[in-house]
Structure 1
Amino acid sequence: MDDCIIIGGGPAGLTAAIYLSRYHLKIRLFDCGSSRAALIPCTHNHAGYPDGISGLDLLAAMRAQAEQYGTVREAAKVTSLRPIEGGFAARIGDREVRARSVLLATGVINHRPPMPDDVHDAALANGQIRYCPVCDGYEVTDKRVAVYGTGEHGAREALFVRSFTRDVTLIAPDRHDLPPEQIDQLEAAGVVRVEGPATDWRLEQDHILLATPKGPLKFDSLYPALGSHSRSELAVEAGARADPSGCLEVDDHQRTSLPGLFAAGDVAKGLDQISHAMGEAGVAATTIRNMLNAERPLWR
């Protein structure tokens, strides 16, 4: 039986793998290859990389570091997780792997705007579609920016982006659904409101173009503000509690409500940032080590 199974090969999962391997624990990391970090063309927000680093390069460096200390990584998807006596059993294909503890670092999936996949992927690679103004709002300073969404979340994101540029347009997927106080805030900030639907999405040189009932519009960048889906199903099915949004409930040491099951990164409620996910993973890994040591001393 392994000491810990890590599910998820993004920054949180790999940070935990580095910590746990350096604690001389026997761990196994399962990575189905769908980390959101892999989609980052270049981040300038991650400390230590003044010239920026791509998500793929960051993940590759972290994988190499984890494997240097003995992490066993499998490119496979865990399809179920269940508590057993003394730990957990994870199913991968037609086999089960057992461990004394589990760390879930499966992240979330962004809801995408209704555009063709090829247009979306090209726009994301070029910086014409951006998902995180906390990460890269600086890059749209004084540019023409759209926020695609409505309601409290859409308005809040539009007002956040407004601190980087005066030219912000909030585009509704259909009709805007905004309370009067948010309308007042948007108008005071000079955020333009446009009703949807948006169609005919396309790229032209350095811009993203779309059609609306108001007419064609062109922007330097567009932020979808459509929320995300938390990939917490494995933990919930095993018996852990999640909040109404699907994020797992954890304590200050990243322990879920199910003893022995931990969560770190975007799958747990918090700031969706690489640095934050890595910090949570360090806390979780150290708590796992101390828990296992209390059960059976880890003397060498």
Structure 2
Amino acid sequence: MARTDETESAVDCVIVGGGPAGLTAATYLRRFHRSVVVIDDGRSRASWIPTTHNCPGFPRGVSGNELLERLRLQATEYGACLVRATVELIQQAGKDWVVGSADRQWRTHALILATGVEDILPSLSADESTDALSKGLLRLCAICDGYEATDCRIGVIGPLEDALAHACFLRAFSADVTAIPTAAGEASAEAMQRSQHLQIATLPPLRTLSFADAHAHVLDQAGGRHRFDTVYVAMGAPGRVSLAQQLGLSTGTKGELVTDDAMQTALPGVYAIGDVVTDLNQISVAFGHAAIAATAIHRRLPVSPRP
């Protein structure tokens, strides 16, 4: 088993982020007999999932928090050290890296950034958002749960171009899909033509969004009131890349961290996995990234022969 306190000497890998990607990478690394610390600030996007039905191996679905708890248990049973803290500093130390929180530091041979993304939501209180998400009135990922919205009356909130793109995607699940722009503006001719072909309605810009009587209620800026069975948000989900930017790492056109096929960034020994790398924000993708990065790190580090 790995030591439970890895603050005094160098470890093989520090993982920043305790979501599905980070925890899966920790399990892989421990099964390679590598010492690993996962530093988690408790903000995994997966914790918002009321029930996911497309996570492999859970035919009846699993909540995000239950999945996270199972992944934590699996990682710790193999000896991973999980620390609840916020990483404030990462700096290079020779061939190693020093990772620091407010009161602790870790020296590591390899670093995995599994920091995820931050969803932009309409103006709602935290309690309103959490409650609406738990009831399926507010949704964040049509790939994840479009099936559950089959034949519902669906609204899609976001900048017009994005709202129309998401609405077109959801048109395969329902005949009643409406785009709700967050501000006045125009979309591309291609987006307008496609949405019109798919008979997607477009409302005036959003004024307020509320939830009552098991429905989402939209008031638009022209005074119109509209009721939906569920509302998807297409307002963006920028990556949590501030730590990566401290290291001078660049992002792609969609704000994602750029990696090679082994999930390594432009800095040797620094890897990035999960939602912060791709806009295909799927648990199964996070699992795959974790396996690739952990195996690459194991191969990169010196072999420690078993006695």
**What interval of TM-score do these two structures reach, taking the shorter chain for normalisation?**
over 0.9
Q: Per-residue deviation at 1:209?
A: 0.9
Structure 2: 5+ residue stretches without partners: 1-9
Structure 1: 5+ residue stretches without partners: none
Q: Distance in 2 between matches of 1:21 and 1:258?
A: 23
**Residue 85 in 1 paired to residue 91 in 2?**
no
- What TM-score do you get using the length of structure 2 for normalisation? 0.93
8 Å CA contact 1:150–1:177 kept in 2: the answer is no
**Residue 290 in 1 paired to residue 295 in 2?**
no
Q: Distance in 1 between matches of 2:159 and 2:197?
A: 17
Out of 8, 22, 32, which is 2:41 matched to?
Answer: 32
8 Å CA contact 2:160–2:179 kept in 1: the answer is no
**Residue 271 in 1 paired to residue 280 in 2?**
yes
Query: What residue in structure 1 maps to residue 211 of structure 2?
Result: 203
Out of 116, 121, 128, which is 1:119 matched to?
Answer: 128
Query: What residue in structure 2 maps to residue 183 of structure 1?
Result: 192
3-state SS of the aligned residue for 2:146? helix
Q: Per-residue deviation at 1:175?
A: 1.5
Q: Per-residue deviation at 1:47?
A: 1.4
Query: What residue in structure 1 maps to residue 77 of structure 2?
Result: 68
User: Structure 1 counterpart of 2:294, which letter?
Assistant: A
Q: Distance in 1 between matches of 2:181 and 2:123?
A: 12
- What TM-score do you get using the length of structure 1 for normalisation? 0.96
Aligned length: 296
Q: Distance in 2 between matches of 1:124 and 1:50?
A: 21
Q: Deviations over 1:193-248 (max 9, x none)?
A: 0011321x322222111211251110011011111121111122112222243311
**Residue 128 in 1 paired to residue 137 in 2?**
yes
Which segment is superposed worse, 6-15 or 109-118?
Answer: 109-118
Closer, same or farther in 2 for the Cα pair 1:176/1:145, shift >3 Å? farther
User: Structure 1 counterpart of 2:213, which letter?
Assistant: Q
Q: Distance in 1 between matches of 2:284 and 2:275?
A: 11
User: Structure 2 counterpart of 1:43, which letter?
Assistant: T
Q: Distance in 2 between matches of 1:274 and 1:176?
A: 34
Query: What residue in structure 2 maps to residue 145 of structure 1?
Result: 154
**Residue 238 in 1 paired to residue 244 in 2?**
no
Query: What residue in structure 1 maps to residue 260 of structure 2?
Result: 251
The structure 1 segments of at least 4 consecutive aligned residues displaced by more than 6 Å after TM superposition are none
Q: Distance in 2 between matches of 1:208 and 1:271?
A: 26
Q: Distance in 1 between matches of 2:279 and 2:188?
A: 26
3-state SS of the aligned residue for 2:281? coil
Identity of aligned residues (%): 38
Q: Per-residue deviation at 1:116?
A: 3.2
**Residue 262 in 1 paired to residue 268 in 2?**
no
Which segment is superposed worse, 7-16 or 261-270?
Answer: 261-270
Out of 41, 61, 72, which is 2:50 matched to?
Answer: 41
The root-mean-square deviation of aligned C-alpha atoms, in Å, is: 1.2
8 Å CA contact 2:160–2:182 kept in 1: the answer is no
Closer, same or farther in 2 for the Cα pair 1:116/1:297, shift >3 Å? closer
